[in-house]
Amino acid sequence: MAASNGSVTTSLVGHSRPSGALQLKSSSNKPNPLPFVALKTGLCYDVRMRYHAKVVNSQSDYTDPHPEDPRRTYRIYKALSDAGLVSQKGASGNADIESELMQPIPAREATEEEVTLTHSKEHWDFIRSTAAMSNVQLLDETRDGDSVYFNNDSFFCAKLSCGGVIDTCKAVVEQKVKNAMAVVRPPGHHAEPCKPAGFCMFNNVAVASRVILKEYPEQVKKILILDWDIHHGNGTQRAFYSDPNVLYISLHRHDGGKFYPGTPFGDYDKCGEGPGEGRNVNIPWPKAGMRDGDYIYAFQRVVMPIALEFNPDLVILSSGFDAAPGDELGGCFVTPAAYGHMTHMLKSLASGKLAVVLEGGYNLDSIATSALGVVKVLIGDAPLPLTNMYAQHEAVQTVDNVIKMQAQYWRCMKIGRTIKDLPGAPAAERLHDVIRRYQAVQLFTSFSMTALPIFRDRVSRSFEDQVLCTPGFQSTKTIVVIVHDPPQFWAEPDSVTGEISLHETYMLDCCRKYVQWAYERGYGVVDINAPEHYTDQDDEGLNPQAAIQDLCIYVWDNYLELSDAKNFAFISVGDASAGVVYLLGHREVRSRMRTSITFAGKQPLHPIMPIMDEFIIDWYYKNSRVYSYDSATSAGADGGGSGFGAGGNGNSSSDRSSGKGPKKKLGNVIKTEIENINELMNGKFEEVTELLEGELEDSDSESEGEIVQVPERKRVKTQESS
C-alpha cells in the first residue's frame, strides 16, 4: 500500500500542474483507462485563515467565544488528519500537507477583479477598509453590522477564503482533481452583492461560480449550487436570482421566516425572476429537529430529479454542517452517514465534478465528524448505512409544497400535477356546498328533516342547510343533537394528471346511521354541519371554530332551551366538538343534558371553560365519552413519535392523557386505535347507542339534576370499553 500510495502521489503531483492530466498520459507508456478514477480528491486548507477573529472586547469573549471560531477549519483539518487522509506534520497549514489520498490545493487571495464579478465596488472597498480600522472602529462596525465581525486581518482572510474556493473549483473543472473540499473561513453564502452578513464577507461560492462561467465558457455552461447549510443562503440566491445558468437549491430551516436570515426570501415560493425564473429551489423546513430521513426524502423527491433534469456541468456544494447533531444554532440531527449519502448522490452529477465548500457549522466536534463523512465519500468510500429512514410529517408537507411550486418549471415535478390552479377555473364549485345540499335532500327524503331558520349577519352558501331538524322536534321529550364536520372523502387521483374520477371517489358519512337510530326511537333530531371553511361572498372565510361555537349557542338559545325536551344528548364528530364544549361551558345545560359523546378521532381535544357553572367540569368528566385516536397504541407508530405516521397526530398529544386531574376538562377520554373517524363511529355504534338509550330512558325515572348515581354506573361501563 505504501508503495502504491507513494506512486499515486507521484502521478498526481503532475496533476497540480495545469496540464497534469495530459502529462500523465504522455508520461505513461499506455493511456490511462479511467483518468477520473486515477485522480485524487483535492483539499484546500490554509492556517492563515485563522487570523480572522473577533476583536476581544470583554471577558465574555473568552468565556463565550463567537460561534464562527478560528478553530473551525483547523478542527476539520485535524479530523481528516487523525483519520489518516492527510498527514499532519505540524498542521501548520496547506504548504506542508502530505497526503496519499488527497491533493493539496493552495489557497491564494482572490483579486478585486474576481470578487467584483459578484460584489459591488463599494462592498469591496468597505471590506478592504477594515484592514486599517482602529479597534474602536472595528467594534463599531461589528456592532452595527448584520451579525458579522471584523479585525484587521478579516480582509486578508476573506480574500484567502474566496481565492481558495475559486482555485478549488478550477482544479475540479480542469480535472486536476476528481472532486474537492475547500475547508475555508470566513464563510460566504449570507454575503449579499452589496453587504456582508451572517459571519460572511465575500460570497465565496458565488464569486467562484462567476469566475468559472467566465473563464471556462466551453466546459461549464450550467452550474448547480446545492446549499445544505441550515441557514438559507440569501446571498447566493440573490446573486443568481435572475440567472438561468446557475440553479440554486437550498435546504434550510425557515420556521415561517423567523429563522435567520429571517426574511420570506427563503420560502418555497421564491423561484427566481426574469430569465432566472424556475432556477431557484428552496426547501424550507418549518421547524427544528429535522433528521436524516427528511433530507434523504427531499433528495429523492426533489433535489436529484431536478438536478438530473437540469444536468449541470459543475456542482458546487455550499456545505454548512450546522444541521448536524450538537449544533446549537441548527437544532437538527443530520448524521455523518446522511451527509455521506447526499454527497454520494451529488457525485453522480456533472460527470463527478463536485466542489464542496465549507459554510457554517459551529459545534467544533460536529463539523469535524460531518466533514470527515463527506470527504471519505468524495475519495471513494461507500457511505455508511442509514437507519430510521423515515420522513417526518412536516418534511413530507414541505417537500410537497416545493413540488407543487416547481411543477411549473420542471417536467419531473409536473408528474401528477398537469392541472394547475383549477380553483380559478370557470364554474368551479366548492364540494362542501355540493355535498351539504345533497345531505339535506337525503335527510329530507329519509326523515323529512328540514332546515332550521338561522339569523345571519352575513351571506355564505355554506349556511344553507347547515342546521336540519326533524319535524316538531321541539315538542319531543328527547332531542339528540348531532354536531359534525363535513363527511370524509377518499379518492384515488390519477397518478399522471392528478385528476380525480367520480367512481374512484367515496364519501363516508356515518352520521346518518345515528340520525336514523334517533329517528326510529322517536327522538327529535337536530343535525348541525360545521364546514371547515365558509364559502363567502368575498370568499374570505369565517373562523370555522368561532363560527361553530356561535352556531351551537344560537341553536341552544333560540330552539333547544325553549323546547319541551327534558333530555338532551349531544353527539359531536371531529373538530365540530369545539362548538359543543363551548356550549357546555357557556350555558347552564347540566339539568337537561344527559350525556355527551365525542368522536374526536385525530382532532385535538377541547377543554371546557366553565363560565356559567363550575361543576360542569366534573359533570362533563362523568357524563361524557371522548373517543380519541391514540398513535401510541397504533401500528403506524413503531418508529416512535418520530415517524411521519405518528406526526399525523399533530401536536395534540399533550391533550391525550386519559381524564385525570386538570385533564378532566377534556372529559372522559377513551383511547382508540381506530384511525379513521367513520370506522370509529361505525365500530362504536352499538356501544354508544346502548349507552345513550340507557341514559335517555333512565332519566325519565329520575328527577332532574340527579346525576350522581348514573355516572357511577357509567364509569364502570367505560372502564370496560376503554
Residues with a known catalytic role: 190
Place of cell 371531529: 574
Cβ(567)–Cβ(696) below 8 Å: yes
Distance (Å, whole) CA 90 – CA 406: 49
Cβ(649)–Cβ(631) below 8 Å: yes
Q: Which is nearer to a second copy, 261 or 383 (CB)?
A: 383
CA dihedral 248, 249, 254, 259 (to 10 degrees): -50
φ, ψ at 599 (rounded to 5°): -100, 90
Binding segment for a second copy (CB under 8 A), chosen from 158-166, 190-198, 245-253, 293-301, is 293-301
CB of 597 to a second copy, least distance (A): 17
Q: What is the per-residue binding string for a second copy in 336-365, x denoting contact by CB under 8 A?
A: -----x--xx-xxxxxxx------------
- 176 binding a second copy? (CB under 8 A): no
644: closest CA among 255, 290, 256, 283? 290
Which parts of 398-417 interact with a second copy (CB under 8 A)? 399-400, 411-412, 414-416
- Local structure of 683: helix, strand or coil: helix
- By CB under 8 A, name the one of 272, 305, 601, 667 that touches a second copy: 305
- By CB under 8 A, name the one of 390, 568, 570, 621 that touches a second copy: 390
φ, ψ at 718 (rounded to 5°): -60, -40
Distance (Å, whole) CA 562 – CA 396: 50
- By CB under 8 A, name the one of 428, 453, 538, 719 that touches a second copy: 428
Q: What is the per-residue binding string for a second copy in 24-63, x denoting contact by CB under 8 A?
A: x--xxxxxxxx-xxx-------------------------
Q: Which is nearer to a second copy, 123 or 178 (CB)?
A: 178
Binding segment for a second copy (CB under 8 A), chosen from 144-152, 157-165, 386-394, 698-706, is 386-394
Cβ(595)–Cβ(571) below 8 Å: no
- 11 binding a second copy? (CB under 8 A): yes
Q: Which is nearer to a second copy, 135 or 300 (CB)?
A: 300
Residues 6+ apart with CB under 8 A from 391: 293, 294, 296, 297, 399, 644
Which parts of 200-259 interact with a second copy (CB under 8 A)? none
- Sign of the CA dihedral running 432, 438, 440, 443: negative
- By CB under 8 A, name the one of 55, 304, 454, 542 that touches a second copy: 304
Q: Which is nearer to a second copy, 137 or 351 (CB)?
A: 351
Q: Which is nearer to a second copy, 136 or 427 (CB)?
A: 427
Distance (Å, whole) CA 242 – CA 587: 60
Alpha carbon distances (Å) from 179 to 171, 245, 343, 352, 354:
8, 21, 11, 7, 5
Strand 524-529 and strand 478-484: the pairing is: parallel
Largest CA distance in the chain: 108
Q: Which is nearer to a second copy, 136 or 635 (CB)?
A: 635
User: With left for phi above 0 and alpha for psi between -120 and 50, is residue 667 left, alpha or beta?
Assistant: left
- 531 binding a second copy? (CB under 8 A): yes
Cβ(44)–Cβ(107) below 8 Å: yes
Which parts of 487-516 interact with a second copy (CB under 8 A)? 488-491, 493, 495-503, 505-510, 512-513
- By CB under 8 A, name the one of 174, 464, 613, 675 that touches a second copy: 675
Q: Which is nearer to a second copy, 4 or 63 (CB)?
A: 4
Q: Which is nearer to a second copy, 489 or 517 (CB)?
A: 489
Which parts of 133-172 interact with a second copy (CB under 8 A)? none
Binding segment for a second copy (CB under 8 A), chosen from 52-60, 190-198, 566-574, 641-649, is 641-649
- 542 binding a second copy? (CB under 8 A): no
Residues linked to residue 355 through DSSP beta bridges, in sequence order:
180, 316
CB of 434 to a second copy, least distance (A): 5
CB-CB neighbours of 41 under 10 Å: 23
CB of 698 to a second copy, least distance (A): 29
- 426 binding a second copy? (CB under 8 A): yes
Which parts of 92-121 interact with a second copy (CB under 8 A)? 101
Binding segment for a second copy (CB under 8 A), chosen from 160-168, 205-213, 397-405, 570-578, is 397-405
- 290 binding a second copy? (CB under 8 A): no
Distance (Å, whole) CA 371 – CA 468: 65
Which parts of 69-88 interact with a second copy (CB under 8 A)? 83-85
Cβ(652)–Cβ(628) below 8 Å: no
CB of 79 to a second copy, least distance (A): 12
Cβ(354)–Cβ(179) below 8 Å: yes
Binding segment for a second copy (CB under 8 A), chosen from 1-9, 117-125, 257-265, 618-626, is 1-9
What beta strand segments (E) does 187-319 contain? 223-227, 246-253, 280-285, 314-319
Cβ(157)–Cβ(49) below 8 Å: yes
Binding segment for a second copy (CB under 8 A), chosen from 129-137, 361-369, 448-456, 675-683, is 675-683
- 545 binding a second copy? (CB under 8 A): no
